[in-house]
């Protein structure tokens, strides 16, 4: 019985860390082994990981490791601490298998996250990625400075950075995808990585599912020319199904996002073509069943991530996928 689904969404969200800690009691950290994958010297024991937004401050990594994911992405991490957006910030639509949020990068700040990473008390079971963003008070013309600060603070503590300019919940953030901003922004971010303590740390760009085909082409070409190491496809969507109970603001994930996310994945692979080389492609969005995991891998994703699936299935989802793949 999934007791948490009987609770109001905000209450369930706030109690989730405590529930995870209790569920992880007496469990040993252990990643499930299936379809192991190596990329740029990083070993993934399996292809299914936790998406950004689940463990925002990297405070539950050891607990998540007891449930068998192949990698963990923490964040979104911002330089300064900040609270969620005001008002209602999360809701569910169980009939559609959907989740809505308007959180807006709530974060304890990069320096507390850095201490959480330093305090990990066990040998690392899987790779750790950091999803990084800007504070909402930072103007776009200075946004790259926020991302650079996060890279500088976390360098050497994470295996890769995920640049998040695709969240719909920070006003104006997606404008950084525009050609007049993107090259300068990403160039500054990548330069910060190159000057960091670990200049070989890969940097990935998280894509919006709401980019038009020509916009996606420009983003992929620009990012590739600058030396981005891969892409996460995708973040939440501003699109709404007919009859959706959610407001127009905020991002929707879960089953209603699936087709948009798959379309972006297909288009991304097509755009990259032979130039893909050693770029990493991670698929996220609308992955609700073990079959969905296999489908994304069959479509060409190297790795898969889940968030909303964990809301509806619980942390045992990693075990379900392990059994499905091995049957």
Numbers of helices and strands, H then E, in the chain: 10, 13
Q: Are 202 and 280 in contact (CB under 8 A)?
A: yes
| pLDDT at position 274 | 81
Tokens of 1: 């019985």
Write the CA distances from 306 to 205, 240, 296, integer angstroms. Answer: 17, 20, 12
String of DSSP letters for 41-56: TEEESSSEEEEEEEET
Structure tokens at 109: 């700040």
186, 226 Cβ separation under 8 angstroms: yes
pLDDT value of position 275: 79
Question: Domains in the chain and their CATH numbers?
Answer: 3-326 (3.20.20.70)
Q: 15: how many CB neighbours lie within 10 A of its CB?
A: 12
> What's residue 165's pLDDT?
98
- What is the Cα–Cα distance from 179 to 186, expressed in whole angstroms? 11
Q: pLDDT tens per residue, the chain (327 residues)?
A: 688 999 999 999 999 999 999 999 999 999 999 999 999 999 999 999 999 999 999 999 999 999 999 999 999 999 999 999 999 999 999 999 999 999 999 999 999 999 999 999 999 999 999 999 999 999 999 999 999 999 999 999 999 999 999 999 999 999 999 999 999 999 999 999 999 999 999 999 999 999 999 999 999 999 999 999 999 999 999 999 999 999 999 999 999 999 999 999 999 999 999 878 889 999 999 999 999 999 999 999 999 999 999 999 999 999 999 999 999
Tell me the catalytic residues.
167
């Amino acid at each position: 019985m999934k007791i948490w689904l009987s609770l109001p969404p905000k209450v369930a969200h706030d109690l989730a860390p405590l529930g995870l800690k209790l569920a992880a009691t007496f469990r040993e950290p252990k990643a499930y082994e299936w379809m192991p994958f190596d990329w740029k010297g990083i070993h993934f024991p399996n292809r299914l990981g936790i998406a950004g937004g689940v463990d925002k401050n990297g405070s539950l990594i050891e607990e998540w490791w007891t449930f068998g994911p192949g990698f963990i992405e923490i964040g979104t991490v911002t330089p300064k601490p900040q609270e969620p957006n005001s008002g209602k910030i999360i809701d569910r639509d169980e009939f559609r298998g959907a989740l809505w949020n308007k959180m807006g990068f709530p974060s304890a700040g990069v320096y507390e996250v850095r201490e959480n990473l330093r305090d990990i008390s066990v040998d690392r079971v899987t790779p750790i990625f950091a999803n990084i963003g800007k504070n909402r008070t930072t103007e776009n013309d200075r946004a790259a400075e926020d991302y650079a600060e996060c890279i500088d603070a976390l360098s050497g503590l994470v295996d890769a950075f995920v640049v998040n300019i695709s969240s719909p919940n920070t006003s104006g953030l997606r404008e950084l995808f525009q050609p007049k901003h993107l090259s300068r922004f990403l160039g500054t971010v990548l330069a910060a990585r190159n000057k960091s303590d670990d200049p070989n740390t890969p940097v990935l760009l998280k894509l919006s599912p709401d980019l038009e085909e020509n916009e996606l082409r420009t983003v992929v070409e620009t990012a590739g020319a600058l030396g981005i190491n891969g892409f996460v496809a995708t973040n939440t969507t501003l699109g709404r199904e007919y009859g959706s109970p959610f407001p127009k603001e905020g991002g929707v994930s879960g089953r209603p996002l699936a087709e948009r996310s798959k379309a972006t994945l297909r288009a991304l692979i097509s755009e990259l073509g032979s130039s893909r080389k050693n770029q990493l492609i991670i698929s996220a969005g609308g992955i609700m069943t073990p079959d969905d995991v296999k489908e994304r891998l069959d479509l060409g994703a190297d790795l898969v991530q889940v968030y909303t699936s964990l809301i509806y299935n619980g942390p045992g989802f990693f075990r379900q996928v392990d059994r499905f793949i091995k049957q």
